[in-house]
C-alpha cells in the first residue's frame, strides 16, 4: 500500500476530506487487484477533480488549435505554416507548445503526411498537395497541465482507398472508447481496436502507442493497441490517457528517419492514419478531455 493512512487522516488527494470519506474504499479496491497480481495505477497518476479542471483549461487551447487547422488547412500550404498557426495560438493564451524542444524535437506540432506514421517535422518544403492525407498532432502545456490530441485531414480529391483508411482509423477510436470501463482492463481497449482494424484489412503499429498525460506530457500507462483482453493496467477512476492507434494500410512495420531521428515511416511506403483523443476514466465510464 502507498503511504498507509488512518481513517481519520486527511486524504492523500488533497481534497481536504477525511480518508474514510474520500479514497479509503478506492484504495481498498486497488489493493484487492494488486494482491491478485494485476497492474494498478499509482496515486501519482490518478487525477483529482481539481487537476482535471486545470487540464481541461489546457485542452480548450488544444481543441481551438485543431479547430483552426480544420478551418484553414488546404492544398498549397506548407506544414511550416501549420506549425506557425499552432505556435501563435498557443502562446497567445500564455501556454507552451509541448512538443517544442521536447527531447530535441524542433517544432511546435507534428505533421505526418501520407506514409509518415507519426512525429513528422513541419517544413517550408513540405507543401500539401491534392490527394494528401495528413495527421496534425497538437499538445499544449498550460501552467504545467498537459493536453494532447490529433486529427486527420484530407486534402482535396483524396482517393477512396485513402479516405477509407482515414475513416477506419477514426472509427477505431470509437471502438476503443466503448471498452473504457471503470475497473476494466486497459488490454480490453487494445484488443478491440486491433480486432476491428484487422477486420478491415489494415494493421496496427506495435512499437508506438498511447500514454498517460495531464501532469506531464508523457506519463504511465503506456497504451498498446495489440494487447490482449483481460490484461494491462486497471482503468481506475481518475486514470487519464490517450487513445491514438496508428493504422497502416499495409503491414505494421515502421522505421525512423536516420537523418532527423524523429520521423516515423511505414516500411512498405503505404499510407498511415491516426486520430487521438485524451480521456479520463470516471465512476460510470469516461470523459473526453481533448479531441
pLDDT at 290: 98
Q: Are 233 and 221 in contact (CB under 8 A)?
A: yes
| Percent of the residues in the chain that have a pLDDT greater than 70, as a whole number | 100
Q: pLDDT, tens digit, for every residue of 154-174?
A: 999 999 999 999 999 999 999
Q: pLDDT, tens digit, for every residue of 61-103?
A: 999 999 999 999 999 999 999 999 999 999 999 999 999 999 9
The arithmetic mean of pLDDT across residues 263-267, rounded, is 98
| Dist. CA 13–CA 49, nearest whole Å | 9
- In the 8-state DSSP scheme, what is residue 81? H
- CATH code of the region 40-290: 3.90.230.10
Q: Where are the beta strands (DSSP E) in 45-189?
A: 96-97, 110-113, 116-118, 133-142, 145-154
* Residue ranges of the chain that CATH labels 3.90.230.10: 40-290
From the list 274, 256, 278, the residue with the least C-alpha distance to 265 is 256
Please say if the pLDDT value at position 2 is more than 90. no
Three cell numbers written together for 91? 502562446
Alpha-carbon distance values, 137 to 79, 229, 248 (Å): 12, 28, 17
Please say if the pLDDT value at position 1 is more than 60. no
pLDDT at 4: 85
Amino acid at each position: 500500500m502507498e503511504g498507509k493512512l488512518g481513517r481519520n487522516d486527511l486524504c492523500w488527494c488533497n481534497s481536504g476530506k477525511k480518508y474514510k470519506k474520500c479514497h479509503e474504499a478506492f484504495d481498498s479496491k486497488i489493493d484487492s487487484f494488486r494482491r491478485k497480481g494485476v497492474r494498478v495505477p499509482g496515486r501519482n497518476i490518478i487525477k483529482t477533480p481539481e487537476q482535471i479542471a486545470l487540464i481541461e483549461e489546457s485542452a480548450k487551447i488544444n481543441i481551438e488549435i485543431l479547430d483552426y487547422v480544420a478551418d484553414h488547412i488546404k492544398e498549397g500550404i506548407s506544414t511550416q505554416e501549420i506549425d506557425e498557426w499552432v505556435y501563435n495560438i498557443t502562446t497567445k493564451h500564455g501556454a507552451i507548445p509541448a512538443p517544442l524542444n521536447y527531447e530535441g524535437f524542433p517544432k511546435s506540432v507534428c505533421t505526418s503526411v501520407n506514409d509518415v506514421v507519426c512525429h513528422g517535422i513541419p517544413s517550408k518544403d513540405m507543401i500539401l498537395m491534392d490527394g494528401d492525407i495528413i495527421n496534425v498532432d497538437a499538445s499544449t502545456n498550460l501552467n504545467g497541465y498537459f493536453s494532447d490530441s490529433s486529427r486527420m485531414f484530407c486534402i482535396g480529391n483524396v482517393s477512396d482507398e485513402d479516405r477509407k483508411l482515414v475513416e477506419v482509423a477514426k472509427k477505431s477510436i470509437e471502438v476503443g472508447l466503448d471498452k473504457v470501463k471503470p475497473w476494466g482492463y486497459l488490454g480490453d481497449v487494445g484488443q478491440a481496436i486491433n480486432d476491428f482494424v484487422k477486420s478491415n484489412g489494415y494493421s496496427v503499429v506495435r512499437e508506438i502507442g498511447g500514454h498517460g498525460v495531464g501532469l506531464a506530457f508523457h506519463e504511465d500507462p503506456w497504451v498498446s493497441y495489440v494487447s490482449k483482453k483481460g490484461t494491462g493496467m486497471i482503468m481506475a477512476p481518475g486514470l487519464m490517457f490517450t487513445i491514438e492507434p496508428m493504422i497502416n494500410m499495409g503491414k505494421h512495420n515502421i522505421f525512423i528517419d536516420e537523418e532527423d531521428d524523429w520521423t516515423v515511416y511505414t516500411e512498405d511506403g503505404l499510407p498511415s492514419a491516426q486520430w487521438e483523443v485524451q480521456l479520463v476514466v470516471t465512476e460510470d465510464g469516461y470523459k473526453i478531455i481533448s479531441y
